[in-house]
């Protein structure tokens, strides 16, 4: 069954993101995770601008890769941490992931990952403390919010503004994608993310997959507790991550169905694999002549 509010908001988001020519240009609010997440999202944002949509990006003043652009409006807000703090905690987080990739869900949720995510999630409170920016967002009448779900503040902003949201991601930790889309995910056939299991599991592997899922249920809310606390403060009601993820109208997944093990999907889960593949320029004539010389007379252009 599709999520509540899905039929009404889906056509609007589809027209806004995918249609050109006959569709009226819309106003799009963009919130992205810092780092490599922004590199891919930026290509889509540039394409939307080329199609005539008006884009406003909201970003923290302290960031690693988020930069101003002449093509769209950018609104910034101050943060409680410095760039040195951000770089230091990010370095410790990535170093721990490379050094000990074989770690339990408990270790992931309670180690450097939690420290790093608490830091980057804290800027959401700074955003809503900027009353001038919040008032601007309320008065701008956006048609949709285009966001990376790892930027959990974007989910809070979308719910606060009561605007349809479009998720743009490769995956997400834990069980929130399945629950947000109300998509079934039978544990006997669908391996959990990072479990390193396949879709053809033995009984022992199925038990292991179930234990992995139980760990997710037990510890994931702890990892993102800061985000739900801030969302509860802003929305003035108790909020769980399931509440934030269930509001998404469309999930744009940067992968292809054939690259994953077979699993159920929902109508609002759209595969856009290949987006991360950069378009290469054609070989120059000099290069082609060099290849022909190396290959000999049998080479054909």
What letter does residue 272 receive in the DSSP assignment?
-
Average pLDDT of the chain to the nearest whole number: 77
Concatenate the DSSP letters of all residues of 46-68 into one string: HHHHHTT-EEEEEEESS-SS---
pLDDT of residue 3: 45
CA distance 270 to 254: 9
Beta strands, E only, 196-301: 248-253, 269-271
Q: Report the sign of the C-alpha dihedral through residues 275, 170, 6, 44, in that order.
A: negative
Q: β-strand 54-60 against 27-31: which pairing, if any?
A: parallel
Please tell me the distance from the alpha carbon of residue 73 to that of residue 259, in angstroms, as a whole number. 36
pLDDT confidence of residue 47 = 85
Contact 197, 208 (CB under 8 A): yes
Instruction: Record the tokens describing residue 106, joined without a space.
Output: 């408990």
Give 57-95 pLDDT, tens digit per residue.
888 877 665 566 657 788 888 887 777 777 777 677 666
Q: What is the pLDDT of residues 128-164, one digit of tens each?
A: 999 999 999 999 889 999 988 888 888 999 999 999 9
In this structure, the dihedral spanned by the alpha carbons of residues 72, 77, 83 and 89, taken in order and rounded to 10 degrees, is -100
Task: Work out the number of other CB atoms within 10 angstroms of the CB of residue 52.
Answer: 12
Taking residue 227's Cβ as centre, other Cβ atoms within 10 Å add up to 24
Closest CA to 6 of 266, 207, 277: 266
Rounded (10°) CA dihedral 65, 68, 72, 74: 90
Question: pLDDT value at position 162?
Answer: 92
- In the predicted model, residues of the chain with pLDDT beneath 70 are 1-25, 35-36, 63-70, 90, 93-113, 275-280, 283-301
Whole-number pLDDT of residue 106: 58
């Amino acid at each position: 069954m599709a999520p509540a509010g899905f039929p009404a908001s889906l056509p609007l988001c589809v027209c806004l993101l995918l249609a050109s020519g006959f569709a009226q240009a819309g106003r799009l609010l963009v919130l992205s995770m810092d780092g490599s997440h922004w590199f891919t999202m930026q290509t889509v944002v540039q394409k939307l601008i080329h199609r005539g949509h008006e884009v406003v990006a909201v970003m923290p003043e302290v960031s690693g890769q988020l930069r101003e652009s002449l093509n769209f409006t950018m609104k910034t807000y101050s943060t409680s941490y410095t760039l040195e703090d951000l770089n230091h905690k990010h370095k410790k987080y990535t170093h721990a992931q490379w050094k000990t990739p074989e770690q339990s869900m408990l270790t992931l949720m309670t180690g450097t990952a939690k420290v790093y995510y608490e830091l980057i999630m804290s800027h959401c409170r700074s955003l809503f403390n900027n009353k001038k920016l919040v008032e601007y967002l309320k008065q701008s009448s956006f048609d949709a919010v285009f966001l990376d779900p790892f930027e959990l503040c974007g989910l809070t902003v979308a719910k606060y503004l009561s605007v349809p949201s479009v998720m743009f991601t490769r995956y997400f930790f834990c069980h929130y994608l399945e629950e947000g889309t109300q998509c079934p995910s039978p544990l006997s056939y669908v391996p959990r993310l990072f479990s390193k299991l396949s879709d053809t599991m033995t009984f022992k592997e199925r038990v292991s997959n179930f234990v992995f899922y139980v760990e997710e249920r037990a510890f994931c809310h702890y990892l993102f507790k800061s985000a739900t606390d801030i969302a509860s403060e802003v929305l003035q009601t108790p909020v769980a991550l399931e509440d934030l993820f269930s509001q998404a109208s469309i999930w744009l997944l940067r992968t292809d169905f054939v690259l994953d093990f077979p699993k159920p999907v929902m109508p609002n889960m759209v595969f856009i694999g290949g987006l991360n593949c950069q378009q290469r320029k054609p070989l120059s004539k000099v290069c082609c002549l060099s290849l022909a010389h190396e290959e000999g007379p049998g080479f054909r252009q």
